[in-house]
Structure 1
Amino acid sequence: MPEQTPAAPLKGMKVIDLSKILAGPYVTMSLADLGADVVKVEHPDGGDPTRTWGPPFNGPDATYYLAANRNKRSVTLDLKSEAGQEAVHRMLSDADVMVENFRPGSSLARIFDYEELSARYPRLVLLHISAFGDTGPLRDEPGYDMVAQASAGLMSLTGEPDGPPVKAGYAMGDLGAALFGLIGVTSALVERERTGHGQYVTTSLYESQLALHINWATGYFATGERPSRLGSGHPSLVPYQAYPAADGHFVIAVGNDALFRRLATALGHPQWADDDRFATNRARVTHRNALNAKLEAVLVDEPVAHWVELLKPLGVPVAAIRTLDEVYDCPQTAALDMVQKVDHPDVGPLQQVAFPVTFRGTRPPVRTAPPTLGQHSRAVLAELGYGQADIDRLLSRPAAPNSPQGA
C-alpha cells in the first residue's frame, strides 16, 4: 500500500492571526491543524493575555494559552507603531486569511479596516470576531465568555431549578463563535475559488449563542413561555438526565417509548410503561417530577456499575459520568488518537487534544507546540525581506503598554 500522507487540506494557505484570548486563537489553531501556515502576531509586552491566565502553568505559559495556539509561529510586533503595521502589511501581501477581534471603534479596528485592506489585497479573507456583533446598541460593548453566556441566555438555562444560574463548564461563548467563524472562513475560501475575491466575515459570541439555542428557541417561539432551568434534564424528553445511584450519578437517555418500556421492565416495574402518565413521551414530560421520583427511589439502591451493566445490553442509552482523568485513560480516547504529544522548547513532551476530524481515516497531526512569545520573530521577519539591522530595530524598540484589542 502507498504510504498515507498527513492530513493537511489547507496546506499552502497563509493565515495572519491578530487575535487573542480564545475565540480567534481557536479559529487560527484549527486552520493550522488543517495545514495552514499561521503566524500569530503578539504585542512585545506580554503577548496574548492568556499566557498569564493561570495557574496552572506548564513552562513559561499558562495551560489556557497552551490549549489554543499549537501549530503556529509567534512574532512580536507593536501594531500601533508604523514599523509594526508595515511588517503586518508585508505579511498580508501574500496571505489568504487574517483573523482579528479588535474592539469595534478601536484604533486598531480603524488601522486594519477591511475596506482599505481589501483594496490592497483583494483575495484576502478577513474574519472579525466581536462580543455582540457589528451592528446594534451593544456593538461597542466589550465582552468575555461569561458575559456572553449571561447576556445571550445560556446561564438562564443552566443549573438546578431551585439553584442559581450556572455557566457552562466549557467556554461556550468563545468556542461557539470560533466554530462558526471557522465555518465562515472556509466557506469564504471556497467562494474565492469561484470569484477570485476575498470576503469580510463576521461573527460574535452573542450571535453564536443564539444560533446554539436550537430547540430552546423554537420552544419559546411556539409558546411564548420563559423556559426554566432543568439541571441535567431535557426540556422535551423524559427520562433524559443524570440520576443518583448508591455511589454517584449516571445518565439515562430515553429517546422513545419503546426504550422506556425496556427501561421500566429492567427496573422491575413494567407497569410504568402502561401508566397513562408515562406511556408516551408527551405524557412523561408533563409528569416529569412524578416519574423522576419513582426512578430515583429505585436507582439509588444500587451502584452506578450495576445499572450500566444491566441497561446497556438491553440497548437503553446509559453512561457513567466520567471525570477528566477517566476520560483520558479511556481506551476509546486512545483508539481515536485524540491525545498527541509534541516537543515544547521549555517543557519537553507536551500533550495536546488533537483536531476532532479525520480525512480518509487520518487525523491532522499536532506538528508543533504552542510557541513561546516571539519564538519565530527573527525567522518570520527574515522571510519578509528584513535585514538583520532592521530586525534588530523592530525587536528592540521600547514596548508600549498592551492595550485591549478584542472581545
Structure 2
Amino acid sequence: MSERPPLAGVTVLDFSRVLAAPMATQILAELGATVVKVERPRSGDETRGFEPRLPHGESAYFFAFNRGKRSITLDLKHPDGRDLARRLASRVDVVVENFLPGTMDRLGLGYAELSADNPRLVYVSATGFGQTGPNRDRKGYDTVFQALSGVMAMTGSPDGPPAKAGVPVADMTSGLWVAIAVLTGLMGRATGGRGRHLDVAMMDVQLSLHALNAARLFALDEDPVRTGTEHPGRVPSAAFRAADGGWLHISGSDQHWVPLCTILGLHDLAADPALRNNAGRVAERERVMRALTEAIATRDREPLVKELRAADVPVGEVRGVREALADPHTAARAMVTAFEHPTEGTFPALRTPLRETASPPPDPAPPPLLGADTDAVLTDLLGLTPAEVADLRTEGVI
C-alpha cells in the first residue's frame, strides 16, 4: 500500500494562467495537492491555443504545465461567477493568482475579502513587478524580464548581441518561487494558525539570480559583462570544440589543472607555478584558453571525455535536447514518462524532479479538458444540485 503523498489534503484554487504560476501549481498537484484550475468559459487558459498543437487540437504547451489538475469554468465578470469563486475560496487552503495588482480586489476576490471568510487562507499573488512600486501595473513576459533584469545582457558571446536563455528562465524560476511561497504559507499557518498574503514578482526573482554577478559588482565595482561559456572568475570553465566537431564543457579547479594538462600534452603549462592556482590562470586567461582550445581541437570528443572522466576532471558533452532526454541516466531516473489523455492518447512527459528515496516517483496525471470537473467541483465542494449547475450553464456563468 502506497503512502499518502506529502501534500495530500491540501486544496489549491488556481486562478493563474500561461506559465510561471501554472508550473507551480502543477508541482503542487504532483506532490499530492488537489488543484482546482479556474478557467474562462469556452476559451480557458490562453495556452490551450498555443503551439505546438497535437492531432486532436490540444496544446503540448498547455500539457507541460497543467498536469494533474481539475478544470472548472467560471465567468468572473458575472456576479454569480464571482460569488461561486468566493464560496470556493472559503473552502480551500490556498489561492494562487497572477492578475495585475488590484484586479482580484476589484472582483471582490482579493486577499482581504477572502481571508475574512477564511482566516487560514494562504494567498499567493504572482505578478511581473509585484504588489508595490512604480512598475506594479506594467505587463511583461519571460523575455521582457530577461531583458529588464540584466539576464539577457549577460547571455551570449562577448562579441555578439545579447541573447535570451535557451529555456524560459524568468517564467520557470518564478514558478519555483511561487511553489516556495505556497509551502512557506502552509508551514507558517501550521505553526502560527493563520494564513497570509505572499507577493512573488518575476522581476525580483530575476534580480535574485544575479547573486554572483552582484557580488562581483559590490566587491570590485565591476559591471559584469557576458562571457559566452566562460566563467568570469574561474579558468578553465568553458566549452571547447573537438576535432570531430563535437563540443565539450570543462570546468576545473586547482586540483584538476595538472591532470587536464597532462592528458592534453600541455606539459609546459602544467609545470608553470604561476598557473597552479585559479587566480594565476584568471590573470593569464588568454594564454591558457588559447592553449586549451588548440589542444582540444586535435582530439575527438568521446575518447577525450572518457579520459578526462577517468582522471576526475569535471567534463560534460554539450548535448542537444533529444540526446539529453535519451541518455541512459535519464532513463534510469525515469525522468521521461507518459500519461494517458482522453483525446490525444498516450503522450510523453517530464517528471517533476522531486522524489522520495523510499518510494517510486508518482506517475503524472493528464492535464484536464476545459471545464471537465466543473459539475463535480460545484456539487462536491459547494453542494449545488445538478439542476442548479445546469441553470448556471444556461446563464453562461460556467
CA distance in 1, matches of 2:57, 2:150: 36
Instruction: Establish whether residue 310 from structure 1 lines up as the match of residue 307 from structure 2.
Output: yes
Residue of structure 2 in register with 1:345 after alignment: 342
Residue of structure 1 in register with 2:101 after alignment: 104
Deviations 1:126-159 (A, max 9, x none): 0100101121111111111111111111001100
Q: Which amino acid aligns with 2:50?
A: W
Residue of structure 1 in register with 2:379 after alignment: 382
Cα distance change on mapping 1:300 and 1:17 into 2, 3 Å: same
Conserved? CA contact 2:189–2:195, under 8 Å: yes
Shift of 1:95: 0.3
Conserved? CA contact 1:70–1:366, under 8 Å: no
Aligned pairs for 1:5-154 within 5 A? 5-6=2-3, 8-57=5-54, 59-106=56-103, 110-154=107-151
Aligned pairs for 1:328-343 within 5 A? 328-343=325-340
Aligned pairs for 1:178-217 within 5 A? 178-217=175-214
Q: Which amino acid aligns with 1:250?
A: L
Pick from 290, 297, 301: which aligns with 1:300?
297
SS at structure 1 position matched to 2:47: helix
- Using CA pairs below 8 Å that are at least 6 residues apart, which structure has the higher relative contact order? 1
Cα distance change on mapping 1:169 and 1:56 into 2, 3 Å: farther
Shift of 1:279: 2.6
CA distance in 1, matches of 2:20, 2:67: 14
Shift of 1:275: 2.8
Unmatched runs of 5 consecutive residues or more in structure 2: none
How many positions carry a matched residue from both structures?
Answer: 396
SS at structure 1 position matched to 2:240: strand
CA distance in 1, matches of 2:210, 2:119: 36
Q: Which amino acid aligns with 1:382?
A: T
Conserved? CA contact 1:71–1:369, under 8 Å: yes
Shift of 1:324: 1.7
Which range is displaced more, 155-164 or 183-192? 183-192
Q: TM-score, normalised by structure 2?
A: 0.95
Instruction: Establish whether residue 321 from structure 1 lines up as the match of residue 318 from structure 2.
Output: yes
Unmatched runs of 5 consecutive residues or more in structure 1: 401-407
Q: TM-score, normalised by structure 1?
A: 0.93
Deviations 1:245-275 (A, max 9, x none): 1222111110x21201110011111221333
CA distance in 2, matches of 1:221, 1:397: 60
Cα distance change on mapping 1:382 and 1:7 into 2, 3 Å: closer
Q: Which amino acid aligns with 1:391?
A: V
Conserved? CA contact 1:76–1:395, under 8 Å: no
CA distance in 2, matches of 1:166, 1:92: 41
Identity across aligned pairs (percent)? 39
CA distance in 1, matches of 2:139, 2:267: 55
Q: Which amino acid aligns with 2:386?
A: Q
Shift of 1:172: 1.1
SS at structure 1 position matched to 2:138: coil
Cα distance change on mapping 1:368 and 1:107 into 2, 3 Å: closer
Cα distance change on mapping 1:318 and 1:58 into 2, 3 Å: farther
CA distance in 2, matches of 1:70, 1:87: 24
Conserved? CA contact 2:54–2:344, under 8 Å: no
CA distance in 2, matches of 1:109, 1:359: 42
CA distance in 1, matches of 2:105, 2:359: 39
Shift of 1:53: 1.5
Deviations 1:377-399 (A, max 9, x none): 12212212222222123234348
CA distance in 2, matches of 1:127, 1:75: 20
CA distance in 2, matches of 1:33, 1:240: 36
Cα distance change on mapping 1:183 and 1:111 into 2, 3 Å: same
Q: Which amino acid aligns with 1:253?
A: S
CA distance in 2, matches of 1:97, 1:13: 8
Instruction: Establish whether residue 263 from structure 1 lines up as the match of residue 244 from structure 2.
Output: no
SS at structure 1 position matched to 2:275: coil
CA distance in 2, matches of 1:146, 1:136: 21
Conserved? CA contact 2:56–2:343, under 8 Å: yes
Cα distance change on mapping 1:150 and 1:193 into 2, 3 Å: same
CA distance in 2, matches of 1:347, 1:57: 7
Q: Which amino acid aligns with 1:228?
A: V
Which range is displaced more, 16-25 or 243-252? 243-252
Cα distance change on mapping 1:109 and 1:171 into 2, 3 Å: farther
CA distance in 2, matches of 1:352, 1:266: 40
